[in-house]
């Protein structure tokens, strides 16, 4: 049996930083990343055989838990029929029907292979449809590693302190305007001055890549109002939030209808997938019926479609959202109580089955207040819980998630570990 340390040393010789996505390297919390061998329900097991209660869940897709039998069965069945064709399949139609029926704003949808592809394609489509260049995004919101969207982004960019990454030409970066998340008046002033030049405003309706930050009352409404007034498109990046809070996404929770929506994670059931969709008149600008080119050899991959259909089928049939809300309330309430007992300053931002822990005294509502959180305290908690068999995100700037497999007993075990960890802190 090889140790995590041995595997990491070998990986660093062959893969930059030893990982294929930067946050996995444990750079913000320190230590050796865990190399995972398998998962089952709420648990995953590393190369050394250690068992962890998993609150990362592949960064959100596994809302049914690891290896849900319905999803595994569908994947196996499709793999025996074929893994890729480069041609249309009926599965794509079935998956499109599922997405369009769930999201009122989506009349047509196109599948791609990742959330990054989804946002990149939606941005290109918005520019083609409006014949404008400027894109507005918000500090701390991460929309994949798209060149024009990496300015003041969240997720790994924020974790590693790279607000503007080398490799993005200044000319491309200049087409993106970055505003403050939840700053209603700042957005209103910008749009009143420059709205006629804006192709699209893209936003995470609930920010999940600087940690969980909820929109202020009126923020999303103002985005909708001003984009409509100036002929710009409103793009909701629901790669994380899609199917996470309810079957219709965050836009259903907040009663806001965007022009385009980007999806990923849950709709793949653990397989690589993304999608973007919206009004038919906008989507009709895509090739082959329109002038905006977008393509992908593995787009609509049959195994990813099968996994997504199975996942959405379980969610639609079981409607587990009230249960997920209740269990997340149990988890977050227990963590807050444990922190209060030890006089630890802790802010919890939570909506549905995703949440974040911020070690500070102030309300966390934008990137500035996110950055006041004590990252060293988070790192201490992370390692204490890791030793106890609880796996949190290896960065203070990411969300934690629960699945339907996180039973009350599993959450109770977690809270026992949290109490001991806070005592040690």
Dump pLDDT digits (tens) for 56-115. Answer: 999 999 999 999 999 999 999 999 999 999 999 999 999 999 999 999 999 999 999 999
Question: What pLDDT, on the 0 to 100 scale, is given for residue 305?
Answer: 98
Q: Residue 21: pLDDT above 60?
A: yes
On the question of pLDDT at 402 being above 50, the answer is yes
- How far is C-alpha 267 from the chain's CA centre? 12
241-290 pLDDT, tens digit each:
999 999 999 999 999 999 999 999 999 999 999 999 999 999 999 999 99
Q: By percentage, how much of the chain surpasses pLDDT 70? A: 96
Residue of 43, 142, 181, 321 marked active site = 142
> Is 374 a known active-site residue?
no
Q: Please, are residues 4 and 48 in contact by the beta-carbon 8 Å criterion?
A: yes
Q: How confident is the model at residue 157 (pLDDT cuts 50, 70, 90)?
A: very low
Q: Tell me the chain's radius of gyration from C-alpha atoms.
A: 21
Give pLDDT, residue 161: 44
Q: Are strands 400-401 and 390-391 parallel, antiparallel or unpaired?
A: unpaired
Q: What is the arithmetic mean of pLDDT over 204-220?
A: 96
- What pLDDT sits at residue 154? 46
pLDDT at 42 exceeding the cut of 80: yes
- Quote the percentage of the chain above a pLDDT of 90: 90
Instruction: Quote the pLDDT of residue 164.
Output: 59
Looking at per-residue confidence, does 147 or 141 come out higher?
141
pTM equals: 0.94
Comparing 146 with 413, which gets the higher pLDDT? 413
Does 151 score more than 90 pLDDT? Answer: no
230 counts as catalytic: no
Task: Please tell me which residue, 145 or 300, carries the higher pLDDT value.
Answer: 300
Our answer to whether residue 46 is catalytic in this structure is no
Query: How does the average pLDDT of the chain come out, rounded?
Result: 94
CATH architecture for the domain at 81-317:
3-Layer(aba) Sandwich (3.40)
Structure tokens at 423: 């005592």
Q: What is the mean pLDDT of residues 5-30?
A: 94
Does pLDDT of 26 surpass 70? yes
- Letter string b/e over residues 356-393, b meaning 16 or more CB atoms within 10 A of that residue's CB: bbbbbeeebbbbebbbebbbebbbbbbbbbbebebbbb
Task: Check residues 171 and 188 and name the one with the higher pLDDT.
Answer: 188
Question: How many other C-beta atoms are found inside a 10 Å radius of the C-beta of residue 348?
Answer: 16
DSSP of 253-296: HHT---SEEEEEGGGGTTSS-EEEEE-HHHHTTBTTTSSB----
Tokens of 209: 């890549």
The mean pLDDT value for 418-425 works out to 92
From 54, 237, 259, 366, the catalytic residue: 237
Q: What is the mean pLDDT of residues 231-236?
A: 98
pLDDT at residue number 149: 74
pLDDT at 36: 98
Note whether 137 and 183 are within 8 A (CB).
Answer: no
* From 265, 378, 380, 397, active-site residue: 265
Are 328 and 350 contacting, i.e. CB atoms less than 8 angstroms apart? Answer: yes
Please say if the pLDDT value at position 152 is more than 90: no
């Amino acid at each position: 049996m090889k140790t995590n340390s041995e595997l990491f040393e070998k990986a660093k010789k062959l893969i930059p930083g030893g990982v294929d996505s930067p946050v996995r390297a444990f750079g913000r919390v320190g230590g050796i990343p865990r190399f995972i061998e398998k998962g089952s329900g709420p648990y995953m097991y590393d190369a050394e055989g250690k068992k962890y209660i998993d609150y990362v869940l592949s960064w959100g897709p596994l809302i049914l838990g690891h290896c849900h039998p319905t999803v595994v069965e569908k994947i196996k069945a499709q793999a025996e029929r074929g893994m890729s064709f480069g041609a249309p399949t009926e599965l794509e139609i079935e998956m499109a029907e599922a997405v369009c029926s769930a999201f009122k704003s989506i009349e047509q949808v196109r599948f791609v292979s990742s959330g990054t592809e989804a946002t990149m394609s939606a941005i290109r489509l918005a520019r083609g449809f409006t014949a404008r260049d400027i894109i507005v995004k918000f500090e701390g919101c991460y929309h994949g590693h798209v060149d024009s969207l990496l300015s003041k982004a969240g997720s790994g960019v924020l974790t590693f302190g790279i607000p503007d990454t080398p490799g993005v030409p200044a000319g491309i970066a200049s087409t993106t305007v970055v505003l403050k998340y939840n700053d209603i008046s700042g957005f209103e002033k910008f749009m009143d001055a420059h709205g006629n030049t804006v192709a699209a405003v893209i936003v995470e309706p609930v920010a999940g890549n600087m940690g969980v930050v909820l929109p202020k009352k009126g923020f999303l409404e103002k985005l909708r109002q001003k984009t409509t007034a100036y002929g710009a498109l409103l793009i909701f990046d629901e790669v994380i939030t899609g199917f996470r809070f309810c079957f219709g996404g965050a836009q259903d929770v907040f009663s806001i209808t965007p022009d385009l929506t980007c999806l990923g994670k849950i709709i793949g059931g653990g397989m690589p997938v993304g999608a973007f969709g919206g009004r038919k008149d906008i989507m009709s600008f895509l090739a082959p019926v329109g002038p905006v080119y977008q393509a992908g050899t593995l787009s609509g991959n049959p195994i990813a479609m099968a996994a997504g259909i199975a996942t959405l089928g379980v969610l639609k049939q079981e409607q587990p959202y009230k249960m997920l809300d209740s269990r997340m309330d149990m988890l977050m309430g227990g963590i807050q109580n444990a922190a209060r007992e030890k006089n630890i300053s802790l802010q919890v931002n939570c909506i549905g089955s995703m949440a974040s822990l911020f070690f500070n005294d102030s309300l966390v509502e934008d990137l500035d207040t996110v950055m006041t959180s004590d990252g060293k305290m988070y790192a201490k908690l992370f390692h204490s819980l890791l030793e106890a068999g609880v796996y949190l995100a290896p960065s203070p700037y990411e969300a934690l998630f629960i699945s339907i497999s996180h039973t009350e007993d599993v959450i109770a075990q977690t809270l026992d570990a949290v109490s001991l960890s806070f005592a040690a802190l």
